Amino acid sequence: MSKQINVALIGNPNTGKTSVFNQLTGLNQKVGNYPGITVEKKEGICKLPRGVKAHILDLPGTYSLNTTSLDESVAVELLLNKNDKDHPDVAVVVSDVENLKRNLLLFTQIKDLKIPAILVINMADRMSRKGISIDIDLLEKKLNCKIALVSTRKETGIDKLRELIADYKNLSKAQNVDTSVIAPEYFEKLRETFPKEDVYKLWLVITQDVNFMPLEKKLFKDASSFATKSKSELKRLQQKETILRYQFINGILKETYKVDVNAAKGFRATLDKVLTHKVFGYVIFLLILLTIFQAIYGWSEYPMDLIDGFFASATEWVKDTLPPGVFTNLIAEGILAGIGGIVIFIPQIAFLFLFIALLEETGYMSRVVFLMDRIMRPFGLSGKSVVPLISGTACAIPAVMATRTIENWKERLITILVVPFTTCSARLPVYLIIIALVIPEGSLLGLSYKALTLMLLYLLGFGASIFSALILNKILKIKSKSFFVVEMPNYKLPLLKNVGYTVLEKTKSFVFGAGKIILAISIILWFLGSNGFSDEFKNAETIVTNRVKEQGFSSSSEIYFENNQNDLNTGLESDTDSAALQQKELEERAISQEIASYKLEHSYMGYMGKAIEPIVRPLGYDWKIGIAVLTSFAAREVFVGTLATIYSVGNDEEETIKNRMAAEVNPITKKPLFNLASGISLLLFYAFAMQCMSTLAVVKRETNSWKWPAGQLVFMSLFAYLVALIAYQLLK
């Protein structure tokens, strides 16, 4: 059996590194975090010629090995540390055919670490259109390396890349640039002090402290204290190294890289003028968002109805097929109800990720970052803060991690603290079920009221984050000064394979990540709702039957009768005996539902809910919603799964979760529990509340203190409660 080799995929941002990774690994990939650190780690398996298997590690995008962020530092540390299990046998450096000069800076640095390196020149399909010609043979000779000319769009060059990776042992390790000429005496002293170590590797270790943070220096403890020069002197030497490398690169490209200046150009500049215009840019962005939210509702309605009906039928089938008992109830009322409460939202979540992936693939997302910098500056944020805020629409956890790219501590801290206000995909199931229940049908200017409500909730979250940033900018007495620089990638048609992988990976991560929590909580809630210690719980059937005889049915049963009245009327017209039988069946079902409801109210969960009901009642909620709000602190999307479990416990009706929620009655007002007032209150509560313990844990890790996440939790919870209270009291 052949040995598995490690391959590091590295390159500048926007060079198509992800496309190359997807072509090499296909679906054999996974996403996680580096051990002990909140930086995303993508890895996959690639089958190579001659039966060789490669472990591909997609390193964070970096412009050079002179680190300025934690992402870049992670990449450098892996390249330096031979004892790391993922240390590469070969480095694949991905470059962009239009920005080859800048990309070669990173390539020459990696080559000088004496790691076997392959240069991938990506987007080869753009060469003829941009008037670019490259003498590949001469470039290989000058750089003393092997080159793969690749087009991921046309799927060319990947087979050659696989062959080069498999043949990595024959790649040259010769250095491109002698860095020691920038300070001969200093580098000579390094050689004398550490004769067994590579001098360029030592130089990189020493200089990392200058830019961002110390690397893990177990192998180079003495070297890390060898920075006899001041930080400013080391910085100047780094600049000299960069100039030296560009002199080398310019000399090579003058002979090997030609551009026809008369080639077609100007389209990008024209489009940028429109999309980043100080008026039209915002209008276009708003229209794009409106279109996205309209599509999320319109396109996903049919598959959601199918999923909802499937789980209702599956629950009924389990109860009819399996013998009655605890195990059957656990499957039907606990497991199926909980899972169904989250699976139903897969279509809408997948569509959200689809549109985000499309915006990123086309290059438009970078224009949004540039556009929003004008808005962010007065609030103490930079344009770079927009990246975490936009990432927050998927999940607050990676969004908080994304603040690592913000060098200024004050801007980074403020961004971390306000990111949870942005509407993440975990809030989406809550929003969708409540909007479906309380927002009426209809449209305005061709956009449905429901889509507009969802859009407003997203804008509300973004507005809250900006307003909070303004307050924090005034409160936090941290001196700061920063400059905003963003790279505008070329516009390109989205690569459907990349979009597909992104949607699949993100949706799968969301569903399985939330699914584990929801399944566990659903089982716990089912147990708490199916068991009780009181006499009321044990004698529920007798108590309810006698109450119905004496006082009649409850308000919720009356709503149940109203929903079935049309069928009864039809029966009365056609067959009196049949209608009477149908009436009797409805009454039996109504009694069965009332018994289930009474038992639930006097179960362990019922008593827990009653204990917190005084706190949530002023917001228009009952004890069931209170339980759902409480459990959703584990993860926001658990709210729907909790209600799905609560309304399924002891229920034999083949009804969807939405129908059961719609039939719920407020015991005080005797009106539907989910109405406009309580619905808006719930929507606003979830728009502002810090309802995710995982986010708190990540914030603690990023700020290295419990002070900031504790402040987040208290402020956001109180603010959400106050806004929800005011909304309900005004609307009821």
Which amino acids are annotated as binding site for Mg(2+), given as ranges? 22, 25-26
Edge-first strand listing for the sheet containing 29-33 = 29-33, 40-47, 53-58, 4-11, 90-96, 117-122, 146-149
For residue 355, give the nearest of 494, 154, 512 by alpha carbon. 494
> What distance in Å separates the CA atoms of residue 193 and residue 609, rounded to the nearest whole number?
70
Question: Would you give the DSSP letter of residue 531?
Answer: -
Question: Would you give the DSSP letter of residue 331?
Answer: I
Binding residues: 11-18, 22, 25-26, 36-40, 58-61, 122-125
Give the CA-trace dihedral at 512, 514, 516, 519, to 10 degrees: -120
Task: Name beta bridge partners: 122.
Answer: 96
Residue with tokens 């399944």: 519
Binding residues for GTP: 11-18, 36-40, 58-61, 122-125
- Measured between alpha carbons, how far is residue 676 from residues 439, 455, 639 in Å? 7, 17, 19
- Residue by residue, DSSP assigns 37-80 as S--EEEEEEEE-GGG-EEEEEEPPP-S-SS--SHHHHHHHHHHH
For residue 340, give the nearest of 651, 661, 642 by alpha carbon. 642
> What distance in Å separates the CA atoms of residue 80 and residue 216, rounded to the nearest whole number?
10
Amino acid at position 441, single letter: E
Task: Name beta bridge partners: 151.
Answer: 156
Go through the chain and tell me how many residues it has.
732
> What distance in Å separates the CA atoms of residue 247 and residue 227, rounded to the nearest whole number?
26
Cα–Cα–Cα angle for 426, 427, 428, rounded to 5 degrees: 90
> What distance in Å separates the CA atoms of residue 269 and residue 658, rounded to the nearest whole number?
49
Longest dimension (CA), the chain: 108
**Secondary structure in 3-state letters for 593-652:** HHHHHHHHHCCHHHHHHHHHHHHHHHHCCCHHHHHHHHHCCCCCCHHHHHHHHHHHCCCC
Copy the structure tokens of residue 662. 């719609």
> What distance in Å separates the CA atoms of residue 252 and residue 255, rounded to the nearest whole number?
6
Strand 90-96 relative to strand 447-448: parallel, antiparallel, unpaired? unpaired
**Secondary structure class of 32 (helix, strand, coil):** strand
Copy the structure tokens of residue 21. 């990774």
> What distance in Å separates the CA atoms of residue 616 and residue 619, rounded to the nearest whole number?
5
